[in-house]
Structure 1
Amino acid sequence: MPPVLLLTRPEAGSRRFLEDLAAEGVTGFTAIISPLLGIEVTGPLPDLDGAGGAIFTSANAVRAYTALGGRPLPLCYTVGDATAQAAREAGFAPRSAGGNADALVAMIRAEAPGERLVHFRGTHARGDVAARLAAAGLHAGDAVIYDQPAQELSAAAKAALDGDVPVIVPLFSPRSAAQFAGVPRGRAPLIVAAMSRDVAAALGALYVTRLEIPAQPDAVDMRRVVIGLLKDFGALVKGHGSVKG
């Protein structure tokens, strides 16, 4: 029986993750896409007269910005490479911090651009990027342009979690991890790849058979971790008594 890979990111992000796995020749698993968070563009865009740069901390923000009719600005900063790729496809020339919100704030502070910067984000966001930049003396504000409503797991996902085959679950945010931890526990051994220690901590007391945290909190390292878990599936089935950590 092939392993189950349960993808809980919004639809577009989950599809992209599967495409990246396929591009690396990774096969032999059953994929179930069941987003725990939806993406709803809300807008509107703020008045961008005089704005010289955009800050994006997710590809979803880039897509929402484009859907609302936003045009590329001269400067663009992104939290990581996956978001930078989305920004590039939208016509920006992004500078990626290659990490988390702390790395992003540090990069922008070091460059100290004089232009007005706008952090385009969702209703739920971490890192206080714009506030921290403003506190450092930079001209920065934020604009909420999409919402991330919680969603229940699909019937297929619930059935997999109550099955006998171990389920590999990549989790990319503390909010999605906390929501996943609230799902009634099934019988299937859980193998979790958590984007960061904050994401892992959000699992609380949820028992998992194995927990992996990438060296860097980005999409590339998450993909490497998941590929490793898929390749180690045979050993995981035999030894799923290992502990969380």
Structure 2
Amino acid sequence: MMSKRGITLRRCKQSQGRRRRLLYLLMTRPRAASERFVAQLPTRIRSRVQVIYSPILEIRPLSVQVDTAGVRGLIFTSANAVNAAASLDVARDLPAFCVGPVTTGTAKGAGWNAQMVGATAEELVAFLLKDRPDSPLLHLRGEYSRGNIAERLTESGLTTREQPVYQQHLLPLTSEATVAAGGETPIIAPLFSPRTARHFADIWVGSAPLWLAAISDATAESLYSMDYVRLKITKAPTPKKMRKAVKKLVKHAMRVEGDEATD
């Protein structure tokens, strides 16, 4: 039978272990996208973090008319564009060329004959220039967009125009995230675009150890001026690679915190 002193020591060690295992995972994407990302993390990783949802970007559909007269196909590079297009009742009888499985699945669910033609915008451009579908094409996107997809395709002989169908409104950190930022618990923050990374760097004020993951070199550029423990850049700008980066950061942060059990 264990003595009272032994029970006390055991409880103390268990308590210390729980404290060591506590990390915050700060998700700054819109809530639905953040929840989807977290749900796809390995169960073991999810058990090691407490998720704080603090969207610093809000998607707002634009009240615009989308003219598809003469258009032979649509380009979607985000699920946000698909949802905005659906709310604007854009014609469903056009083929849709999409980036990534989430965008493609969203487009199919909304009624388009959608085809995934790459995991990134670069892969989409390469596919379309090689496959040469009927044109002109129409790229429906957000007000802020990178990659110059329509311009590059048009310059290469595949006529494409573009139209913003939603806006990305910047938001401050939530009160929960602000409190965590001022504490001592390590925070892992994945950033998914150059614009949100710039905004995050501008609004971040805190003393908590910060572990950052950037989905691209361009996203990382705004983060170098921050006071962080580690910054990891994904090898490719995909959700899969970002999940891998977060997984590695969790493991490294746990080691720093003294818990080797995650290896």
For normalisation by structure 1, the TM-score amounts to: 0.89
Give 1:84 deviation, angstroms: 2.3
CA RMSD for the aligned pairs? 2.0
1:212 aligns with 2:232: yes
- Deviations, residues 70-90 of structure 1 (Å, cap 9, x unaligned): 343442222333322322332
State the SS of the aligned residue for 2:231.
Answer: strand
1:95 aligns with 2:80: no
Number of positions where the alignment pairs a residue of Structure 1 with one of Structure 2:
238
In structure 2, what is the equivalent of residue 226 of structure 1? Answer: 246
Do the aligned partners of 1:166 and 1:188 also contact (CA within 8 Å) in 2?
A: yes
State the SS of the aligned residue for 2:36.
Answer: helix
In structure 1, what is the equivalent of residue 156 of structure 2? Answer: 136
Fraction of identical pairs, as percent: 36
Larger radius of gyration: 2
- Deviations, residues 170-211 of structure 1 (Å, cap 9, x unaligned): 100000000011124311111011001110012241121111
Change (3 A) 1:35 1:47: same
Give 1:43 deviation, angstroms: 3.6
In structure 2, what is the equivalent of residue 13 of structure 1? Answer: 33
Answer with 223-232 or 178-187: which moved more: 223-232
Change (3 A) 1:24 1:109: farther
State the SS of the aligned residue for 1:146.
Answer: strand
Change (3 A) 1:131 1:83: same
Aligned pairs for 1:1-245 (under 5 A) are 1=19, 2-21=22-41, 26-92=46-112, 93-99=114-120, 101-238=121-258
Specify every segment of 5 or more residues in structure 1 that has no aligned partner in the other structure, as ranges.
240-245
State the SS of the aligned residue for 2:89.
Answer: coil
- Deviations, residues 55-105 of structure 1 (Å, cap 9, x unaligned): 111111111111222343442222333322322332332223112x22221
Change (3 A) 1:49 1:24: farther
Specify every segment of 5 or more residues in structure 2 that has no aligned partner in the other structure, as ranges.
1-18
Give 1:216 deviation, angstroms: 1.4
Do the aligned partners of 1:72 and 1:91 also contact (CA within 8 Å) in 2?
A: yes
What amino acid is the match of 2:115? P
Answer with 203-212 or 31-40: which moved more: 203-212
What amino acid is the match of 2:167? D
Kindly indicate which of the two structures has a greater share of residues assigned to helix.
2
